[in-house]
Structure 1
Amino acid sequence: MDTLLSIGLLASISNATLVGQNAALSSHFNFGENVTGDISICEVRVPSKGVAPCTYYETLGFWGNKGNSTGNGYAGIQESDDRRGNKVHIFSIWHSMDDPSDTANFPYAAYLGHGTTAEHFGGEGVGLKTWNFALRWQPDVWYTHVIRAWDVGKDTHYGFFVRDGASGVWRHLSTIGVKEPRIRIKGPNDAFIEDWKDTGKNMREVHLRHIWRRDGQGEWHPAQSGRYTPNRGDCLPGKRSHHYKNNWDAGTRKDSTGDFYYMRSGGSQTRPSPPLKYPDNMNHVFSVENKADRPDYQKAKIKKISITKKASGLNLVWSMEETSLPQFSYKIELFDNAECAGDPLLSKSEWRPETREVNIDWMPSDHQTVHLRLSIADIFDQSVKEVRMVTLSK
């Protein structure tokens, strides 16, 4: 994890006691099958009792499909000790390890929204991370994390979208560009819980559910099970979690919101629940059945459209309902008939989730009245259309 880079976990020996052995044990859930696709989804919740300092609650971990670390990445939330704030949403993409000094071809921030910032990281891998200290997250609330990959010229872009389960509001926090075409999200989805400092005395816990991957043919694959795997090697004497080698747990639970997976690590009272046992059975496959055919979120909805006539054409501004799925692409068409039939007089489209304003350079010839159709596709490619009539002067 990139926030580990400046920390000396096995720094020194003092009073004959090894330091760097007091971190809570890191552990993983690998969900679903080895599916390569363009969308990955996971919902995450941290219970109030499970909030602990210096903890990464990862939701979406994936690999690129190029055979090196290009396009590998992960997203999640953190309880950070950063001076800028805690309760962070974070998304990172690695640069190819084939040439880590090739800074000219590093991943880059194509879009940053809602107070998100970006910076390069190095040391344990190299790449770009985008993180948001402004929005924060709240305990006991489910957050949906979505990553979508798409092609932009010779590059690949990764969009990171977050839904607040309390307000229902979606936000597009960032897009990271990678200077290589046609990279897609590969492998089962990896989620982990990690203490990046020696704070194993604090118990941390994370809940996960509704894990999906969409393949290259547009088919949705729900994760019906997850393999739980703690970092066994960190339990050995002298390793970072030796003093908390038996303080971890995982499994499935159910509450008023439904079934979910959980991971817990650290804290003096934490112990593995059967069938898990240290050191005999530290790995296990747990299952939560998902009967849905596809993720169930409200599709995109256009909230408002404003059209202003200018000397050179039209200025179009629109907004989206924040509790509906975020925009992925737009298409603008002008027609000379109310049915919007036949070939349009003009057509413009882009895959740009953040765009909400477009200037249309078009002047009327024989047409005094035109009909403008705005089509929006959300991040799951569900479409919505709105038509407006505009009277123009020559």
Structure 2
Amino acid sequence: MKKSLRTRLYACLWCLGMFVFLMPEHTNAQGAAPSEHLVFSFPADAVLKMHKVKIVQSAYTEYFEMNSFTSGYAGLQQTPDSSKGSSHTLISSLWDPNTSAGIYSSVAYQASNTYTGRFGGEGDGYQSINPYNWVMNTWYNQVIRAWKSNGQLYVATFMNNLSTNQWFHTVTLAMPAPSNFLGSGNDAFLENWDSNVKWNGAFVRKAFFKDCWNLNTSGVWQKHTSRYFSANAGDSARNGIYDRAFDAGYDSTEDAYYMVHGGSTTPGAGFGTGRTLTLPAQTNQGTAPVITAGVISSVTASYASGITTVNWTNDNTTSPQLSAKVEILDAGGTVLYTQQDTLPQKRSTTFMATLSAGSYTARVTVRDIFNNLSAAVTGSFTVSGRGTDTTFYKFKNAYSNLYLGVKDSSTANSATISQYAGSNSYNLQWYASTQSNGSIVLINRRSGKALDLPGSAQTAGTHPIQYTVTNGTNQQWNLVVATGSTFLIQSNMSNHYVLDDSASSTLQGTGIILYAASGTSGSANQQWYQESVSSGLSSLSGAAVSAALMPAPPVTASVLQVFPNPAVNVVNITCKKMNAKMWIWFYDVPGRVVKRVAVTGSPMQVDISSLLPGTYFVKYGNETVTFVKE
């Protein structure tokens, strides 16, 4: 349901950082130009809304809304407040689903010059303001694009200057995902939000609107089935002498609808004494919009110390990126690793996996906001020498305090895996090779062979072995956080059983088995500390993490949010329930703790400038959120 005029007016005023008391009656005898709407009806829920505007007359304190959608709106403003860098701004806002219940909207991404912040009043949420510097007598095309991921609805705002064809992504806002996306209807809106005599209804404001489209959830373009104009009724006290200074219609020369208010404007004959007008279909709208598919301009890639970095640029005069697929291919053209993310702003990614010496290709394909697939573009790179990362780790069982190793230090295929007392033996050291699906292959330093489930067996009691590296599913493992300082080493096979110190033995040489995890955290004989060989200290600081640092009792996080995402130097962390006795943990893809911070409140800021670019996991209480460090 759309917000009331008063609600929307409050929200717009907060977007400007200037709150004007809205009185039921104004002492100013002249008044404001009447608020007016173009309302469009569509047959189905949409993942995308698109609408064009050309502003031909304007004045301060004027809002030209281009798109209205479930829980939000976006458009252009002319404001006397230029503190954000311009008086001609681009705004987009998203209301909270339920502020009083602690269910908030959030900011997932903002352009470098876009301001974001909370607004309040009769409609709380997040706002964005960009000093877009729009100009009159120029057509602009605005697109609102939505998608769902990890229980969130993301809503991105894009602007296209049709005189230059330049696209601009100003912000992505988010909220807990509702059952729908953007809703079916749309609404363009003219509002003179201040009746101050300096900027009141004496000034004429006029804009043309055309090519209003929905892209439904099945990916089908839809035109509006009906449309009408309405000037708000019941605002005569606010509008004063300008209460009927409005008009609207269809202009065949522009092939567009127009709205105008203020000054000496009077309603056309079609209004009679009323304030509404049914409008005809746009003559030349066509059956689908004319779209130029996204184009990738360049791709570059490099490799160092087990990390492949891929960067790409897009042609900003073509349709903007919604998602990107990045692949690493060997010299024979075989795809080794793949990543795919729905992040419109993403232009770089990393693969944490060891590559042997040779020639490789990075291949990038982009799907644009209109669901068109770009042509793939490639960039070649070379790996010299062994290409092996020199970082190795040991895994110590939390119950026995013995370490994961190959039986009798064997280098042969099919040698079984056992536990031994700690030493500097290469037999106890493992390298974690990250796979494209986020799992790891554990490669023994002495033998160069991988921890393996023989014949892909995954029944309880199976004895793991070492075998020549194939990177197959039976060699893939996940480090699953068990406690604040230990992991379960979980098979990536369908049963997802874990490595287990059989019968909780404390004897050296005891064979390790595969077994079902005991609960979500496993039992002590299934929990493992991960220790860095170079320092001899746990990468999780297991010995240093005392019980006083851990929660007692456990806390449910209740909608953990990390933003912006991706982030460069700082992330904001919010959660309905924050306990000052808790810690927030940051893990890399192989599952190593790379940072921890004490809770200071909600929201709180965390400096991540020391982290390498890549994907990380933030864990608080029982909840985990993924974010990307650029």
Structure-1-length-normalised TM-score: 0.87
SS across alignment from 1:101: helix
Q: Distance in 2 between matches of 1:389 and 1:172?
A: 29
Q: Do the aligned residues in 1 keep the contact of 2:296 with 2:312 (CA within 8 Å)?
A: yes
SS across alignment from 1:3: helix
Q: Do the aligned residues in 2 keep the contact of 1:10 with 1:21 (CA within 8 Å)?
A: no
2:271 maps to: 276
Please say if 1:112 is aligned against 2:110.
Answer: yes
Q: Distance in 1 between matches of 2:58 and 2:82?
A: 18
1:54 maps to: 61
Please say if 1:27 is aligned against 2:36.
Answer: yes
Moved more, 2-11 or 163-172: 2-11
2:145 aligned partner, one-letter code: R
1:240 maps to: 238
Q: Do the aligned residues in 1 keep the contact of 2:62 with 2:191 (CA within 8 Å)?
A: yes
Q: Greater strand percent: which structure? A: 1
2:21 maps to: 8
Q: Distance in 2 between matches of 1:280 and 1:118?
A: 40
Instruction: Tell me how far 1:183 sits from its aligned partner.
Output: 4.2
1:374 maps to: 364
Q: Do the aligned residues in 1 keep the contact of 2:46 with 2:182 (CA within 8 Å)?
A: yes
Please say if 1:180 is aligned against 2:177.
Answer: yes
1:194 maps to: 191
2:327 maps to: 333
Q: Distance in 1 between matches of 2:342 and 2:175?
A: 16
Q: Distance in 2 between matches of 1:57 and 1:44?
A: 9
Paired positions, count: 365
For 2:283, which of 289, 295, 298 is the aligned residue? 289
For 1:352, which of 343, 352, 357 is the aligned residue? 343
Q: Distance in 1 between matches of 2:251 and 2:285?
A: 17
Please say if 1:252 is aligned against 2:265.
Answer: no
Q: Distance in 1 between matches of 2:275 and 2:119?
A: 36
Q: Distance in 1 between matches of 2:33 and 2:156?
A: 31
Q: Do the aligned residues in 2 keep the contact of 1:275 with 1:281 (CA within 8 Å)?
A: no
SS across alignment from 2:219: coil
Q: Distance in 1 between matches of 2:158 and 2:255?
A: 23
Q: Distance in 1 between matches of 2:176 and 2:231?
A: 34
SS across alignment from 1:275: helix
Q: Distance in 2 between matches of 1:351 and 1:20?
A: 52
Q: Do the aligned residues in 1 keep the contact of 2:302 with 2:381 (CA within 8 Å)?
A: no
Please say if 1:318 is aligned against 2:312.
Answer: yes
Q: Do the aligned residues in 2 keep the contact of 1:20 with 1:240 (CA within 8 Å)?
A: no
Instruction: Tell me how far 1:276 sits from its aligned partner.
Output: 2.2
Q: Distance in 1 between matches of 2:251 and 2:129?
A: 30
1:8 aligned partner, one-letter code: F
For each residue in 1:267-317, what CA deviation from the matched residue of structure 2 results, as whole angstroms up to 9, or x when unmatched?
A: 1x211123123x246332232135533322321111121222222232111
2:51 aligned partner, one-letter code: C
Q: Do the aligned residues in 2 keep the contact of 1:228 with 1:286 (CA within 8 Å)?
A: no
Moved more, 119-128 or 217-226: 217-226
Q: Do the aligned residues in 1 keep the contact of 2:45 with 2:180 (CA within 8 Å)?
A: no
Q: Do the aligned residues in 2 keep the contact of 1:10 with 1:20 (CA within 8 Å)?
A: no
1:177 aligned partner, one-letter code: A
Instruction: Tell me how far 1:12 sits from its aligned partner.
Output: 6.4
Instruction: Tell me how far 1:114 sits from its aligned partner.
Output: 4.3
1:67 maps to: none
Instruction: Tell me how far 1:57 sits from its aligned partner.
Output: 0.3
For each residue in 1:324-345, what CA deviation from the matched residue of structure 2 results, as whole angstroms up to 9, or x when unmatched?
A: 111111111123356x46xx21
Q: Distance in 1 between matches of 2:13 and 2:111?
A: 25
Identity of aligned residues (%): 26
Q: Do the aligned residues in 1 keep the contact of 2:298 with 2:377 (CA within 8 Å)?
A: no
1:77 aligned partner, one-letter code: L
Q: Do the aligned residues in 2 keep the contact of 1:222 with 1:290 (CA within 8 Å)?
A: no
Please say if 1:132 is aligned against 2:130.
Answer: yes
SS across alignment from 2:126: strand
Instruction: Tell me how far 1:247 sits from its aligned partner.
Output: 0.9
1:212 maps to: 213
Q: Do the aligned residues in 2 keep the contact of 1:374 with 1:386 (CA within 8 Å)?
A: yes
Listed as ranges, the matches of 1:36-75 within 5 Å are 36-47=45-56, 50-63=57-70, 72-75=71-74
Q: Distance in 1 between matches of 2:116 and 2:29?
A: 29
Q: Distance in 2 between matches of 1:206 and 1:34?
A: 26
1:142 maps to: 139
1:151 aligned partner, one-letter code: K
1:158 aligned partner, one-letter code: V
SS across alignment from 1:289: coil
1:223 maps to: 224
2:530 maps to: none
Structure 1 unpaired stretches of 5+: 64-71
1:78 aligned partner, one-letter code: Q
Q: Do the aligned residues in 1 keep the contact of 2:34 with 2:235 (CA within 8 Å)?
A: yes
Q: Do the aligned residues in 2 keep the contact of 1:9 with 1:19 (CA within 8 Å)?
A: no
Q: Distance in 2 between matches of 1:172 and 1:75?
A: 13
For 1:390, which of 344, 358, 381 is the aligned residue? 381
Please say if 1:264 is aligned against 2:260.
Answer: yes
2:494 maps to: none
Larger radius of gyration: 2
Q: Do the aligned residues in 1 keep the contact of 2:359 with 2:381 (CA within 8 Å)?
A: yes
1:7 aligned partner, one-letter code: V
1:66 maps to: none
Structure-2-length-normalised TM-score: 0.55
Structure 2 unpaired stretches of 5+: 1-7, 387-630
1:364 maps to: 355
Instruction: Tell me how far 1:21 sits from its aligned partner.
Output: 6.1
Cα RMSD between the aligned structures? 2.1
Q: Do the aligned residues in 2 keep the contact of 1:155 with 1:182 (CA within 8 Å)?
A: no
Instruction: Tell me how far 1:364 sits from its aligned partner.
Output: 2.3
1:61 aligned partner, one-letter code: S
Q: Do the aligned residues in 1 keep the contact of 2:59 with 2:205 (CA within 8 Å)?
A: yes
For each residue in 1:355-379, what CA deviation from the matched residue of structure 2 results, as whole angstroms up to 9, or x when unmatched?
A: 11112223224x7233322111111
